[in-house]
Amino acid sequence: LLSQYLARRGYQVRVAQDGPTALAMVEKDLPRFVILDIYMPGMNGLEVLRELRARKYAGGVLGLTGSQEENLLQGLLDLGAIDVMGKPVDMEKVELAVQLGCLLTAP
């Protein structure tokens, strides 16, 4: 649903079903912005972001979660996530975060 919304808004969207696939896609495509679900199979969003930063990925990141675990939420922010949003998400707020992230990481 979110991917379809952003695609209709003109964004190029790629969807990964798990953390390891997300890492491979980011390494291959080098997107300017990544949206991570905290509870992805294989690796959680925090682990994926930690690995992305270790690989010097400098693009924007938004975390999505249904959790209120402070350590996970703070961990994402500490690793440079633009924001962390709870589910269900407000599509317009997500789009604003994507716009902000793309502006902040413009080449």
Tens digit of each residue's pLDDT (9 = 90 or more) over 20-67:
999 999 999 999 999 999 999 999 999 999 999 999 999 999 999 988
Which domains, and CATH codes, for the chain? 2-104 (3.40.50.2300)
What does the DSSP 8-state code read for residue 89? P
Mean pLDDT of the chain: 93
Q: Two tokens at 88?
A: 């269900």
What does the DSSP 8-state code read for residue 61? E
**Confidence bin at 107 (pLDDT 50/70/90):** low
Angle at 42 between CA 71 and CA 76, to 5 degrees: 25
**Confidence bin at 17 (pLDDT 50/70/90):** very high
Residue 37 has phi, psi (to 5 degrees) of: -80, 135
**Confidence bin at 105 (pLDDT 50/70/90):** confident
Identify which of 80, 76, 86 has the alpha carbon closest to the alpha carbon of residue 104: 80
